[in-house]
Structure 1
């Protein structure tokens, strides 16, 4: 009876394998280097991407490595980029966990002959193996579809690749012969098994370490609570409540405005050294303004943050007097295409709205902007505003009315920027929560908020947080006008939710 069941099982598996036919085969290349030959197997031939994705029959993506060396880093970046540009971001934990494991599984280089099989099995879900060792399993088709989209989506590796995967071309026999000639040895299977064994050892060690940490934390917490109880018995009950920590705010770009330097050169005759110092100042000021605005416009790509991608990206470009960009290129220093493209996008969006100072001589200038991407922090290294050279400093002071007018205009601009970012929380609106919120903020010369103080709070914490979020998102604010001659100023932000 057991032998019959085994035979039937064998026949069943064989029938499933035979049922799949080669739909297409293609060569995956980047920068003229071939990494693997890809093959797509379906239950019946199909050249329509949408129909293939919707089909619930068994499907298989197979790839055999042709490169002598395919490093874990290059594997990860290639797949992550291809996945991100062809799929809508999803925070589904099972799906993203599968993607993270697939793109980050390698512990050593893949080499010529290694085989990766990505199967969709209707009764099981997605199963991925490397050299016949299962490394990823999920219960749905979502992971398979995301990986297949990297081949046949809107932005495939190339038009030729997509066409060849969707239907067999005239020269597919030659590529198929190369594909069939590739194979891996038992040592390569053992290598993948060793990765899994090492993973299990690491996980066990980590779990043991976490248990020790939890035990220490519980002991420390217990001791702290005992000490706290003793202290509370000795203290008066009238203690001030502590302010709850504010939520992490995701930066988003504020409405962009054209910025033109208001500093005008003196008409007095100046030395060559003074003129050079002034020109250096105007160029440094322009670069500083560009850096501030571009950093503010950068949005961490959701996929890049999900994949934990980070790194320093630098864009170099030439800009002319009309604020037109020429010769834009980037240095990634190990960062992914997602991060590089985001800094490029922010640059091309911001630069046309920032005109160079009228007093800056020349027709075009070279600019370099760097941005450090880190999933855990959006903070960037602080760069102080360029100091005004002595030849541009004036001994003349503004009259009282002029001072009030310039300061009033500046504070009005700041207030308008923050007000624009205040959003009435949807649930607060539905619950008819109302109230007035007042904060006082202190702004330094560079437009950075150095202090935020609650003056009047609503009894609804969501309303208070909405105003605080708008204040944080607005940074950096416009710089304090030089003619005011002050290092900082304060302003009250009042908002009534009605």
Structure 2
């Protein structure tokens, strides 16, 4: 009997240690686009904090989680937006060293996400492995101890999707009850889980069949991974000038613009060591001197068309390589730097203490002329919303799209945060 008590005590102790080590919910953030709720993002950590620096601690287990609210969300669109923020919130040397890991990560996202889907990214502190799973089914692993933080910075780095998004994740467990209730209620159906399991079995069988005829030495050779993916677009949120300094030129000293310039320079240096697409140098700084295209505000019909895109299958995408990722990061960084030079904090908004975040989707043609601007998210102040659009119009034309990217049009997101100094 005594031995049974000892065993039971040890079991209780083991359970208690395991429970105490489980990551806690640090915060939740609701992602909305075109007035449509898409998903709720979450950060779990063993140590709760309102300081982003504390959540980068590689000595503790952490988790990023997304629970889908939309009826249907293209996985590639979701992934591309995440990779946009990855590119802007990380140093250039980080991007270049982890380019292959980003290709692996991007390759995990296919098909569509559905309401109730739970996408989890778990970091194991003991092994440094990042595991990506969907509804409890493992999609893949990345054995790089620094990769999790690369993903995390996209959400809570200097250029988040919005300040509200970052603040929600950095709430140290102080989460609104209604949002938490909605988050916890989102679960996949048994049919959805069974569907994913069948797909995973089919993919594993297809992979095994494809590898069987290959020689052992061929399997050992390192290869450049090519994935059927849409090219990612990257974004940047410029920090605002002080109320006493509304001149556009003075905004160039902001933290966000410095990040963009650092990323551009370091990624460009790293790209020099890689084989460029088609073996030609990238044309990064060329300007188009034609007159800017006059733009009309996006009509409700156009907005509806974007929203309805979820109802259609995505088009085939060009193969993605590590070199292509870096090439796109360089070009997009140039687009963002070009835009930031034209952003001004409206004097009236400063006087009235108006702050807010605006996110635009900008589409340009190969010559760099703006052909469409649509508001993904708007602030509650019309003055800030109009300034964000005006900044893009003033910035046109943009540097021409490099021929190596092979794009008939190029789309990039532009999050702008108007924030007054304390």
Q: Normalized against structure 2, the TM-score is what?
A: 0.51
Q: Write the distance in 2 (CA, Å) between the matches of 1:203 and 1:152.
A: 36
1:314 paired with 2:314, answer no
Q: Please state how far the C-alpha of 1:142 moved relative to its aligned partner.
A: 1.8
Q: Normalized against structure 1, the TM-score is what?
A: 0.44
1:161 paired with 2:185, answer no
1:114 paired with 2:117, answer yes
Look at both structures and tell me which one has the larger radius of gyration over its CA atoms: 1
Q: Please state how far the C-alpha of 1:185 moved relative to its aligned partner.
A: 2.5
1:83 paired with 2:83, answer no
Cα distance 1:192–1:65, how it changes in 2: closer, same or farther (>3 A)? same
1:138 maps to 142
Cα distance 1:54–1:9, how it changes in 2: closer, same or farther (>3 A)? same
Q: Please state how far the C-alpha of 1:35 moved relative to its aligned partner.
A: 1.8
Q: Please state how far the C-alpha of 1:69 moved relative to its aligned partner.
A: 0.4
Cα distance 1:29–1:14, how it changes in 2: closer, same or farther (>3 A)? farther
Match of 2:73, SS state, is coil
Q: Which has the higher contact order (CA 8 A, sep 6+)?
A: 2
CA contact (8 A) 1:90 1:96 kept: no
Cα distance 1:304–1:140, how it changes in 2: closer, same or farther (>3 A)? same
1:181 paired with 2:185, answer yes
CA contact (8 A) 1:98 1:137 kept: no
Match of 1:123, SS state, is coil
Q: Which one of the candidate residues 188, 191, 194 is aligned to 1:190?
A: 194
* RMSD between superposed Cα atoms in Å: 4.7
Match of 2:25, SS state, is strand
Q: Deviations over 1:172-203 (max 9, x none)?
A: 11100111111122332223323322222222
Q: Please state how far the C-alpha of 1:111 moved relative to its aligned partner.
A: 0.9
2:326 maps to 302
- Unaligned 5+ runs, structure 2: 219-274, 292-322, 331-362, 375-392, 410-422
Q: Write the distance in 2 (CA, Å) between the matches of 1:315 and 1:301.
A: 19
CA contact (8 A) 2:288 2:367 kept: no
1:99 paired with 2:150, answer no
Q: Write the distance in 2 (CA, Å) between the matches of 1:48 and 1:330.
A: 37
Q: Write the distance in 1 (CA, Å) between the matches of 2:60 and 2:205.
A: 37
> How many correspondences in the alignment?
268
Q: Write the distance in 2 (CA, Å) between the matches of 1:137 and 1:148.
A: 16
CA contact (8 A) 1:47 1:166 kept: yes
CA contact (8 A) 1:67 1:112 kept: yes
1:127 paired with 2:131, answer yes
Match of 2:44, SS state, is strand
1:47 paired with 2:56, answer no
**Correspondences of 1:263-342 after superposition (within 5 Å):** 302=326, 304=328, 314=365, 328-330=370-372
Q: Please state how far the C-alpha of 1:134 moved relative to its aligned partner.
A: 1.6
Cα distance 1:349–1:117, how it changes in 2: closer, same or farther (>3 A)? closer
Cα distance 1:258–1:80, how it changes in 2: closer, same or farther (>3 A)? closer
1:30 maps to 33
